[in-house]
């Protein structure tokens, strides 16, 4: 998602811009409207595996080890991982 669309009303997007937003957004992006800061998230154990390019079993071990606790928010069975923070905690940039 590009920054130029954030200040544009939805009704003023062209069809191409609208479809581009729908097809090019790979990870959910959360925008803090007070600061304008964006954060990207992955979800689930498969999300951890995608972030680090590892297997599901290795991703499960990483989560269980507590290494990524500060980057993970879990409500029930739903796991949300802050990508930048997870990489920073694992010292992979």
Same domain, 44 and 84: yes
The Cα 71–Cα 83 span in angstroms is: 8
Same domain, 47 and 75: yes
Q: Look up residue 64 and give its two tokens.
A: 């269980």
Same domain, 44 and 33: no
Residue-wise pLDDT tens digits, 10-58: 788 888 777 776 665 555 666 666 666 667 888 999 999 999 999 999 9
Judge if pTM exceeds 0.75.
no
Q: Look up residue 88 and give its two tokens.
A: 């920073």
Residue numbers of the domain that contains 69 = 40-89
Distances in whole angstroms, Cα of residue 83 to Cα of each of 46, 49, 91: 13, 11, 12
Q: How many domains does the chain have?
A: 2
């Amino acid at each position: 998602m590009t920054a130029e669309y954030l200040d544009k009303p939805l009704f003023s997007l062209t069809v191409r811009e609208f479809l581009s937003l729908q097809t090019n957004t790979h990870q959910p992006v959360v925008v803090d409207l007070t600061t304008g800061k964006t954060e990207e998230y992955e979800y689930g154990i498969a999300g951890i595996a995608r972030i680090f390019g590892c297997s599901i079993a290795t991703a499960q071990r990483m989560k269980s080890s507590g290494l990524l606790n500060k980057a993970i928010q879990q409500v029930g069975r739903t796991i949300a991982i802050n990508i930048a923070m997870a990489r920073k905690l694992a010292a992979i940039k």
